[in-house]
Amino acid sequence: MYELSNGLLDSIIEPFKNGFFIVITIVLCWLFYIMFNQQNTKTPYLWFIAHILGILISGYLFFELLTTNMKNSHGIQSWVYDEVSYRYKIIGLIWVVSLFCLLIGINCFRKQK
């Protein structure tokens, strides 16, 4: 299996990580701006904000997992595999919950009309 040298993965991941968090911050600010200027109900926007926060948390955990050095852990190899597998499951669960928040927000907009 091909292995990247130390530090090379960090230089590749860092721009993606920074771009991800910049875009999420812009989207959150935009949603808050629209929500506070809205005269009608704010419920759909709250669901969209919950969705974006879920994406933010899962993205943070994902990038944290990519940059964590598991080679130097003192556990056995199966423990490292179990830890990575567990973290991916948590990230996936948060992502799925955030998608449900998105669907609920869309449904709230549909009910307003």
Distance CA 81, CA 66 (A): 13
* Structure-model confidence comparison of residues 76 and 52, the more confident one: 52
Tell me: pLDDT of 69 over 90: no
Give mean pLDDT, residues 54-59.
95
Tally the residues of the chain. 113
Give mean pLDDT, residues 67-87.
71
Specify whether the CB–CB gap between 49 and 35 falls below 8 A. yes
Q: How far is CA 112 from the centre of its chain?
A: 29
pLDDT at residue 21 in the model: 95
pLDDT at residue 13 in the model: 83
Tell me, yes or no, if the pTM score tops 0.85.
no
Tell me: pLDDT of 74 over 90: no
Residue 83 CB: number of other CB atoms within 10 A?
15
